[in-house]
Amino acid sequence: MLMTISVLMENKPGALMRVTGLLSQRGYNIESLTVARTLDPSLSRMTICVDVEPRLRPLLIKQIHRLVNVLQAADLTEAPAVIREMVLVRIRTSLDNRTAILKEAEIFGARVVDSSVEGFALEASGDPEKLEEFIAVMETYGEIEVTRSGLVAVSLEPKRLKLAPPIPRAHPQSEPAHTR
Amino acid sequence: MAQTMSGARILMECLQREGVEVIFGYPGGVTLPLYDAMYEGAIRHILVRHEENACFMASGYARSTGKVGVACATSGPGATNLVTGLVDCMMDSIPVVALTGQVSSKLIGSDAFQEADTFGITRSATKHNYLVKDIKDLASVIHEAFYLASTGRPGPVLVDITKDVLQGQAHYQPVHAIHLPGYKLVTEGHAGQIRRAAQMMWEASRPYVYAGGGIIASGAHEELRELVETLDAPTVLTLMGLGALPGNHPNFISMPGMHGSYAANMGMYECDLLIALGVRFDDRVTGRLASFAPHAKVIHVDIDPAEIGKNRAADLPIVGDAKKVLTKLVRVLKETAPEMKPLREKERREWWNQIRAWQEEHPLKPVFSADEIKPQHLMVEIDRISNGRAIVSVDVGQHQMWAAQFIRFDRPRTWLSSSGLGSMGFGLPAAIGAQVAHPDALVIAIVGDGGFQMSIPELSTIANQGLPVKVIIMNNGYLGMVRQWQDLFYQNRLSAVQIEAFPNIEKLADAYGIRGRIVEKPSELRPALEDAIRHPGPVLVDVRVSPFENVYPMVPAGAAINEMVLAPPRPVEVPA
């Protein structure tokens, strides 16, 4: 079953690899992945869509959370969240279909981002299922080429971000680990 | 006061600040600047003979002291050779910091000489890892590495440092604080959960303590003893937990699991409350999960939230450091004891009677013979000589299980075993690491004839450093555990398990200038071991044991914990 995970992590080299590595070492196939920095440029937000057995979902979240660079990891599969995707569709079409295509595009809220004698480039965004329908409809008009952005999600539950405070390292540490 | 220093010197300065006493390492091209900084000898360096063993030695050092072990290797092959040791530390939660050299940052990605993607390769082999390409980051990264390795659930951390960073110059200022915003530790344990746990413990008729490596990692052995005594609960210790409760403690049953005792496993099966402390419900302990402790509610204390509910759902989880949680738990138990202890007194007595009956029914009984040395006999003799005081490190296989069954450990950090990863070749280097940390202790490495041959190069290190490690080879001429499985599950079709052309140990020892001895007769065993212990230097003892002995009891893979195969009946002779 597809699971949607939102991860807030430090924007550091290798941080992405730690998350994707954790998934790939368990043999999970990533359906989509988006990542970009947040308002705070030292952090990145990542949305992952991955096929995971439902009973393993809580464990996976805890294991992602355990990664040192990860500040927050949330399972948005069934949580209140807005999940969106963007798709770019290039369609080659004969002149007869152009008006119909534009009408359909309008129904799906898609925008024309390029127009030529050969056809259009359309941009649509929204609920991933709606986009599936849009693509299916466009396919009926001719040869299409599709690029999807992957899911981006935002949780609607307020969650305070708790950060670990700085750790003083003033003195030589020679005592055994457990006494620290 | 800022001063200009080379990266290598900054690194040495940070290591000294972290209290590092010894580095187990092997130099190479890109670590030349580091080894030059070591020239003055501010930190002792043990030159190993293979980098994998550097990591095992650091592991043995860490396991036997609780301090962070340090291993060092050059780029490329040096770093890749560390990987097995890192995974071993990862599986057993052992604090080790590995330092590796990397080619200069300008050369990274160009397939330069001795370049390997150490950062990528060790991602899943470490708790965390770093690639340092900017000298400004070096000092804080080193301190972060030690902090991460030693806190929370301990583990290995690797720092890969490019040659230009080691060679470069920078103003060095001591690091006063490190920032790890995502590294949140929960150590205290929820007070309400702790009270509820105490309540459950008093209300149980058949409570059972299942404690492991987490007790040793957090130094909670005294607290464990108090808990077990306050509750008067039977207690089993996992392979990682041996020594957490004295081996002769009346509440200690034995190790549970695949080669655990009958009583330990029956107790697991029949208990109605499983008190799991610093354990991870490993498959070698649980057998078939669906039939593991089927009648029990589970209290699970662990510092790693990801362990809770991983294999077995916990009815009452407590995330926290074992020492802190057990301290509070014992306090609550003692407060409530006058009122609560009588509650299940009768059931508890019956429970103990049942456990004692199981113990008598099928005790862990060593096997003796007048004609040949039985492997169990060897362990009994080692136990006699150690008398709970030696640091014993083992390799992996049959001898490891017999040692766990028949050698008593009275203190934590005296039993060193590659338990989770089960890495052959661990026993000898781990003993070296422990002996370096405890120069005056009796350190015994028990190894098989297979694993020993993976570590032979380190005999040179032992001789070189004058370390009085006693290496006892349980030589049955086979890769015994694999042979046992071929015997039991593959119609005894013995495939690639016989070790032929084993070297003559007396000659081999002689070649390294250390004492060696071959023991073949049961009557020679005790004197030979006593002689080995008396000898002030290192000793190699090749003990020829009967080749076809199997380890019992055994829970076959996939079977339930109460479905043990018990030892086949055989005459038992007790030596005079």
Q: What is the pLDDT of residues B315-367, one digit of tens each?
A: 999 999 999 999 999 999 999 999 999 999 999 999 999 999 999 999 998 98
> Distances in Å between the alpha carbon of B400 and those of A125, B368, B394, B451?
60, 18, 6, 11
Burial classification of residue A129, based on how many CB atoms lie within 10 Å of its CB (0-12 exposed, 13-18 middle, 19 or more buried): exposed
Cβ contact B139:B14 at 8 Å: yes
> Diameter of chain B by CA atoms?
75
> Distances in Å between the alpha carbon of B128 and those of A68, B37, B123, B343, B467?
7, 26, 7, 48, 32
Q: Would you say the C-alpha torsion B349, B351, B357, B362 has a positive or negative sign?
A: negative
Residue B3: per-residue pLDDT = 84
Q: Using CA atoms, how far apart are residues B255 and B265, in angstroms rounded to an integer?
A: 9
Interface-testing mutation among B14, B121, B123, with chain A (most A C-beta atoms within 10 A)? B123
The closest alpha carbon to B163, from B197, B113, B229, belongs to B113
Cβ contact B255:B267 at 8 Å: no
Cβ contact A1:A53 at 8 Å: yes
Q: What residues of chain B lie within 8 A of the CB of A172, using their CB?
A: 16-19
Q: What is the pLDDT of residues A112-156, one digit of tens each?
A: 999 999 999 999 999 999 999 999 999 999 899 999 999 999 999
- Using DSSP bridges, classify how beta strands B539-544 and B470-475 pair: parallel, antiparallel or unpaired: parallel
User: What's the gap in Å between the CA of B185 and the closest CA on chain A?
Assistant: 8
Non-local CB neighbours of B11 within 8 Å, separated by 6+ positions = B34, B37, B99, B138, B142, B161, B166
* Residue A167 contacts B where some CB pair is shorter than 8 Å: yes
- Taking CA–CA distances from A174, the nearest residue in chain B reads B19
Last residue of a domain, one of A41, A58, A79: A79
- Calculate what percentage of chain B has a pLDDT beyond 70: 98
- What the block records as the tokens of A92 is 């080659």
Test B176 with A170 for CB contact under 8 angstroms: yes
Residues A72 and A94 occupy one common structural domain: no
Is it the case that residue B571 has pLDDT exceeding 50? Answer: no
Are the folds of B191-361 and B375-544 the same?
yes
Last residue of a domain, one of A48, A79, A110: A79
- Give the range among A83-97, B206-220, B392-406 with minimum mean pLDDT: A83-97
Q: Using CA atoms, how far apart are residues B350 and B429, in angstroms rounded to an integer?
A: 46
Domain boundaries along the sequence of chain B: 3-172, 191-361, 375-544
Residue A177: per-residue pLDDT = 44
Residues A26 and A54 occupy one common structural domain: yes
The closest alpha carbon to B443, from B458, B432, B429, B452, belongs to B432
pLDDT band at B9 (very low <50, low <70, confident <90, very high): very high
Is it the case that residue A179 has pLDDT exceeding 70? Answer: no
Find tokens 């390492």 and name the residue: B25
pLDDT band at B543 (very low <50, low <70, confident <90, very high): very high
Q: What residues of chain A lie within 8 A of the CB of B154, using their CB?
A: 177
Mean per-residue pLDDT, B402-425: 98
R_g of chain A, CA atoms, integer Å: 22
Q: Using CA atoms, how far apart are residues B184 and A70, in angstroms rounded to an integer?
A: 10
User: What's the gap in Å between the CA of B121 and the closest CA on chain A?
Assistant: 11
* Residue B66 contacts A where some CB pair is shorter than 8 Å: yes
Is it the case that residue B369 has pLDDT exceeding 50? Answer: yes
Test B148 with A63 for CB contact under 8 angstroms: no
Residue A170: per-residue pLDDT = 63
> Diameter of chain A by CA atoms?
81
Test B306 with A59 for CB contact under 8 angstroms: yes
Q: Does domain B3-172 have CATH number 3.40.50.720?
A: no
Residues A29 and A89 occupy one common structural domain: no
Helix (H, G, I), strand (E, B) or coil at B425: coil
Q: Using CA atoms, how far apart are residues B386 and B73, in angstroms rounded to an integer?
A: 35
Q: What is the pLDDT of residues B144-184, one digit of tens each?
A: 999 999 999 999 999 999 999 999 999 999 999 999 999 99
Residue A162: per-residue pLDDT = 84
Interface-testing mutation among B180, B312, B413, with chain A (most A C-beta atoms within 10 A)? B180
The closest alpha carbon to B37, from B72, B68, B61, belongs to B72
Is it the case that residue B2 has pLDDT exceeding 80? Answer: no
Q: Using CA atoms, how far apart are residues B52 and B283, in angstroms rounded to an integer?
A: 26
* DSSP character string of B278-311: S----HHHHSSGGGSSTT-EEEEEES-GGGTTSS
Residue A158: per-residue pLDDT = 81
Mean per-residue pLDDT, A96-109: 94
The closest alpha carbon to A20, from A35, A10, A37, belongs to A35
* Residue A58 contacts B where some CB pair is shorter than 8 Å: yes
Residue B460: per-residue pLDDT = 98
Say whether the peptide bond before residue B553 is cis (omega within 30 degrees of 0).
yes
In B93-182, alpha helices (H):
118-121, 135-150, 163-167
- Taking CA–CA distances from B13, the nearest residue in chain A reads A172
Q: What residues of chain B lie within 8 A of the CB of A10, using their CB?
A: 181-182
Find tokens 């990397």 and name the residue: B102
User: What's the gap in Å between the CA of B258 and the closest CA on chain A?
Assistant: 25
Residue B568: per-residue pLDDT = 64
Other Cβ atoms closer than 10 A to B246: 17
Q: What residues of chain B lie within 8 A of the CB of A166, using their CB?
A: 177-179
* Residue A160 contacts B where some CB pair is shorter than 8 Å: no
Q: What is the pLDDT of residues B177-204, one digit of tens each?
A: 999 999 999 999 999 999 999 999 999 9
* Residue A146 contacts B where some CB pair is shorter than 8 Å: no
- What the block records as the tokens of B107 is 């050369």
Residues A86 and A74 occupy one common structural domain: no
User: CB-CB: which of A21, A70, A167 is closest to B123?
Assistant: A21
* Residue A174 contacts B where some CB pair is shorter than 8 Å: yes
User: CB-CB: which of A17, A69, A169 is closest to B176?
Assistant: A169
User: Which residues of B belong to the active site?
Assistant: 51, 113-114, 163, 481
Burial classification of residue A55, based on how many CB atoms lie within 10 Å of its CB (0-12 exposed, 13-18 middle, 19 or more buried): exposed
Residue A124: CATH number of its domain: 3.30.70.1150
Residues A58 and A17 occupy one common structural domain: yes
Average pLDDT, chain A: 92
Is it the case that residue B499 has pLDDT exceeding 60? Answer: yes
* Residue B123 contacts A where some CB pair is shorter than 8 Å: yes
Q: What residues of chain A lie within 8 A of the CB of B309, using their CB?
A: 58-59
Is it the case that residue A98 has pLDDT exceeding 50? Answer: yes
Domain membership flag for residue A165: no
User: What's the gap in Å between the CA of B26 and the closest CA on chain A?
Assistant: 24
Interface-testing mutation among A19, A68, A171, A175, with chain B (most B C-beta atoms within 10 A)? A68
Residue B229: per-residue pLDDT = 98
pLDDT band at A178 (very low <50, low <70, confident <90, very high): very low
Residues A115 and A75 occupy one common structural domain: no
Non-local CB neighbours of B195 within 8 Å, separated by 6+ positions = B332
ipTM value of the model?
A: 0.92
Residue B547: per-residue pLDDT = 95
Indicate the CATH number for domain B191-361.
Answer: 3.40.50.1220
Mean per-residue pLDDT, B474-493: 95
Domain membership flag for residue A125: yes
User: CB-CB: which of B67, B146, B182 is closest to A68?
Assistant: B182
Residues A15 and A61 occupy one common structural domain: yes
Average pLDDT, chain B: 96
Domain membership flag for residue A16: yes
Residues A56 and A111 occupy one common structural domain: no
Mean per-residue pLDDT, B384-407: 97
Range of the domain at A95: 82-152
Residues A94 and A133 occupy one common structural domain: yes
Test A169 with B154 for CB contact under 8 angstroms: no
Q: What residues of chain B lie within 8 A of the CB of A65, using their CB?
A: 305-306
Test B309 with A66 for CB contact under 8 angstroms: no
Cβ contact B222:B192 at 8 Å: no
Indicate the CATH number for domain B375-544.
Answer: 3.40.50.970
Domain membership flag for residue A164: no
| Domains held by chain A: number | 2
Interface-testing mutation among A173, A179, A180, with chain B (most B C-beta atoms within 10 A)? A173
Is it the case that residue B575 has pLDDT exceeding 90? Answer: no
Last residue of a domain, one of A29, A56, A79: A79
Test B67 with A70 for CB contact under 8 angstroms: no
Residues A74 and A126 occupy one common structural domain: no
Other Cβ atoms closer than 10 A to A11: 17
Residues A6 and A71 occupy one common structural domain: yes
Residues A50 and A90 occupy one common structural domain: no
Q: Using CA atoms, how far apart are residues B68 and B43, in angstroms rounded to an integer?
A: 14
Cβ contact A119:A90 at 8 Å: yes
Cβ contact B390:B193 at 8 Å: no
Q: What is the pLDDT of residues B242-258, one digit of tens each?
A: 999 999 999 999 999 99
